[in-house]
Structure 1
Amino acid sequence: MRRFFRLPVLLSVVGLCLLLGLGAAAQEFRLFERGWFNVKTWWQPAPEGIALQRYRATVQAQPIEGLEDDVSALTYDPERKTLFTVTNARSELIELSLDGRILRRVALVGFGDPEAVEYVGPDRFVITDERQQRLILVHLDAHTTTLDAANAEQLTLGIGLNGNKGFEGLAYDSLGKRLFVAKERDPMVIYEVRGFPSQNPEQPYAVHVVQDRERDSRLFVRDLSSLQFDERSGHLLALSDESRLVLELSVEGKPLSTLSLRKGYNGLKRTVPQAEGLAMDAAGTIYLVSEPNLFYVFEPQAD
């Protein structure tokens, strides 16, 4: 009789362990929050904003010819109407056309581990050093071939230093003069930096760093790879490589819409591998780069 009762008990213990394991995995991948968001967006009217669900891939997995190093981050330059990315294997700032062709390469000296680049004004860009959590302001003109961090304005934050899980993404709000800085994970945070870059280099810095904990707690993704601020709506886009997702956040920090980077969604024939950079132009077209050198374009479709 004892052996008879041992089997159900053993099965119950195994079943409980499996349930606990599945629950832990679901929490790790934020499946509960993502599932509830999908349910809400299914029965509620689509909110005003970027509406990522309307986007479809028009360029997919196009290799960036002449580039073998790992691309990291992406930003749109409205003056030149081109894109910029950085590589960290061999540190370079690379200008791309809107169809993914290399236009020029600028060597980066003393930038450590460059992971993100963001346009902040005519001929002005901020580049991050992930490991040291440095924000480096550089000036780029038509004749620039090399940028040396030693000659640039810099701000080191040093918040929650964690090796290569540091600053992965940047976005700039030109009207609010806010620089959004994404910490990849452990913990996953979006900081808002005010006062850098300085609007008047002749005056002393007055830098303020704030964090919206409520907004960050709503991010149902596993990591942050890149950010994009949409001037038209005031909304923020957050790219997650591990979750294969682009998430739209409202002014209040609430998730509004998503663009899946998995096969079969948003017109994708294959899942995007290791998405690293995100940018949007004035027309709302989304550009994306994936390591080591793949280029994507997503465009909104008529309802």
Structure 2
Amino acid sequence: MRSFLTPRQLAAAFSLLILGLLVTAAQQFRLFERGWFVLQEWRHAAEWRDRSIWLPDYRVAIEARPIEGLDDVSALTYDPDRHSLFTVTNQHSELIELSLDGHIIRRITLVGFGDPEAIEYISPGMYVITDERLQRLIKVKLDENTRSIDASQAQQLSLGIGLSGNKGFEGLAYDTAGQRLFVAKERDPMRIYEIHGFPHTNPEKPIAVHVVDDPKRDARLFLRDLSSLQYDDRSGHLLALSDESRLVLELNAEGRPISSLSLLRGMQGLRKSVPQAEGVAMDNDGNLYLVSEPNLFYVFRKQTD
């Protein structure tokens, strides 16, 4: 005898299916962890605000300004000596210097870099650029007269860590006091590595490179990917930018998330969501700069009471 589900049973089965899909989506997008973090951020605001960057206090000052002449910006770093910003383009292999309001100052041709994806200021005239797919870190030098840089003439470090196609080294940050280079692997798996000994800055000492990672810390990052990093020398905290999560996350010295800046419409004064955030940088005054593909420029400033 054929049996049929009653309307009530069908409704119950459908409700369970929808509930299962919602739970799966929540797990995939780390919504439970993110919700718990928002609660903790609110509870500890008074305790953490004065000894952190404290991203909730930031509001957008320049929103989605097109960088004329560019169409594939990737990464961002602040040069405290020149008081300017640098980004790279991977389609045309260029190093671009930008003013603090998002205008091109100069363009430098990159030769032999493959897939340049991130750049980080190290010291006056010295930077590190990543080749994402090959997982190369390339130390470069430039001055006022530099018009092109050849990777074959530069100091390099290759790291074959968890190779996964176009999901390689996506972001860089540098701790000047600790001489640590932070390297973000985008995903599959998502990781933040600490590189000690590169770039090699003392020719009188032998090269000794040490790589440190912390899978437990990285598992606490309720982010779907990593696009960029920024280290704050004043607080000792690290900023992690996620394109897919539309979020900038502040990590304390122990690697625990303590504050966040949302890149969604209606948050932080944004009229529209940031479409594809690729790079974040911070200047000496604590202003945040952000670039989004294809060529959008943002500035966030901290609001004071």
Q: What pairs with 1:96-135 in structure 2 (closer than 5 Å)? A: 96-135=98-137
TM-score normalised per structure 1: 0.96
Cα-to-partner distance string for 1:77-123 (whole Å, 9 max, x where unaligned): 00111000000110000000101110000000000000000001110
The yes-or-no answer on 1:42 pairing with 2:45 is: no
Q: C-alpha displacement at 1:5, in angstroms?
A: 4.4
Residue 60 of structure 2, aligned match among 57, 60, 63: 57
Q: Give the root-mean-square deviation of aligned CA atoms.
A: 1.4
**Secondary structure, counterpart of 1:14 in structure 2:** helix
1:199 to 201, 205, 213: 201
Q: Is residue 236 of structure 1 aligned with residue 267 of structure 2?
A: no
Please list, as runs of the form range in 1=range in 2, the aligned pairs for 1:1-303 lying within 5 A after superposition. Answer: 3=3, 5-46=5-46, 47=48, 48-67=51-70, 69-303=71-305
**Which deviates the most, 36-45 or 112-121?**
36-45
Residue type of the partner of 2:302? P
Change (3 A) 1:40 1:186: same
In the alignment, the residues of structure 2 paired with residue 183 and residue 49 of structure 1 have an alpha-carbon distance, to the nearest angstrom, of: 25
Gaps of 5+ in 2: none
Q: Secondary structure at the match of 2:32?
A: helix
Distance 2:74 2:27 in 1: 28
Query: Which letter does structure 1 place at the counterpart of 2:27?
Result: Q
1:7 Cα shift? 4.3
1:40 deviates by 1.8
- Structure 2 distance, partners of 1:5, 1:263, is 44
Paired with 2:202 and 2:123, the residues of 1 have a C-alpha distance of: 13
- For residues 173-220 of structure 1, what are the alpha-carbon distances to aligned partners after superposition, in whole Å with 9 as ceiling and x for unaligned? 000000000000111000000000012134332111011222211111
- TM-score w.r.t. the length of structure 2 is 0.96
Please give the alpha-carbon distance, in whole angstroms, between the structure 2 residues aligned to 1:13 and 1:65. 54
1:293 and 1:41 map into 2 onto residues whose CA distance is 32
SS in 1 for 2:21: helix
Looking at structure 2, the residues matched to 267 and 133 of structure 1 have their Cα atoms a distance apart, in angstroms, of 37
Aligned-residue sequence identity (percent) comes to 67
**1:295 & 1:147 partners in 2: Cα distance?**
25
For 1:44, the aligned partner's letter is H
Alignment partners' CA distance in 1, 2:203 and 2:9: 72
Alignment partners' CA distance in 1, 2:204 and 2:93: 30
How far the C-alpha of 1:238 sits from its partner, in A, is: 0.4
Note the C-alpha offset of 1:19.
Answer: 1.9
Rounded Cα–Cα distance in structure 2 between residues aligned with 1:70 and 1:189: 24
Between Structure 1 and Structure 2, how many residues are aligned? 302
Distance in 2 (alpha carbons) for counterparts of 1:155 and 1:13: 56
More off after superposition, 275-284 vs 17-26: 17-26
Deviations 1:221-257 (A, max 9, x none): 1100000000000000000000100000000111111
In 2: Cα distance, 1:227 partner to 1:173 partner: 11
* One-letter code aligned to 2:38: N
One-letter identity of the residue aligned with 2:56? Q
